[in-house]
Amino acid sequence: MKLNRKEFLKSAGLGGISLILPGSSPKAELVTNLIAKPIQIYDNYLLGVQYYSLNKCFGKIRAGDLVILEQFSEHEHDRIAVGVKWENMFLGYLPAYENIVLANLMDAGARLNAMVNAKLSLHQFGIGIWTNLIVPEKEATEKLSNKAADDVDDGYRR
């Protein structure tokens, strides 16, 4: 069953009369100050690119190009494999040790938007993934980092 936003909020208790306790009304600010905000939830390089079509389209594909995510539940080595396509060309897989959350979101019907966010070489070809999350409006107006994970200055990435 497909839900629209209003039906989703009602089923989550955010659009109805009671939020947690029967007969109680949620505070107005809990309902009216929520917005859907695109949040980056993934940033890493593709794997296995040497076996697929990335080398054929590397000169044409650009940072910022949209790509398609596809699950491969019949994959021999990874039942939750998530692959990436661009213009019907298979480019590679997201790392197996990072794909479970994305696969679960896809299984649940979450809309994930993916794009090329780094094109340094065939083996440093980055994919960023965003999804809309329902967040309080106040927090959504605060500046979010749009830096690639490799560009964040911290002790692990030096």
Looking at the chain, the domain(s) classified CATH 3.30.70.2330 span: 36-136
What whole-number distance in Å separates Cα of residue 17 and Cα of residue 127? 41
What whole-number distance in Å separates Cα of residue 61 and Cα of residue 53? 11
SS percent in the chain: helix, strand, coil, step 5: 25, 35, 40
Name which CATH class applies to 36-136. Answer: alpha beta
Each residue of 67-126: pLDDT tens digit? Answer: 999 999 888 889 999 999 999 999 999 998 899 999 999 999 999 999 999 999 888 999
What whole-number distance in Å separates Cα of residue 103 and Cα of residue 9? 23
Least confident of 5-9, 68-72, 143-147: 5-9
Instruction: Report the mean per-residue pLDDT for the chain.
Output: 79
Tell me the two tokens of residue 16. 């109805």
pLDDT score at 1: 47
Cβ atoms of residues 4 and 109 within 8 Å: no
Kindly report the backbone phi and psi dihedral angles of residue 29, in degrees, each rounded to the nearest multiple of 5, phi listed first.
-70, -20
Query: Which is higher by pLDDT, 132 or 151?
Result: 132
Q: Is the pLDDT of residue 47 over 60?
A: yes
Q: pLDDT band at residue 134, thresholds of 50, 70 and 90?
A: confident
Q: Using the 8-state DSSP alphabet, how is residue 21 labeled?
A: S
Cβ atoms of residues 144 and 43 within 8 Å: no
Structural element, H or E, at residue 84: strand 81-86
Angle at 141 between CA 140 and CA 147, to 5 degrees: 80
The residues, ordered by sequence, that sit 6+ positions from 101 with a Cβ below 8 Å of its Cβ are 41
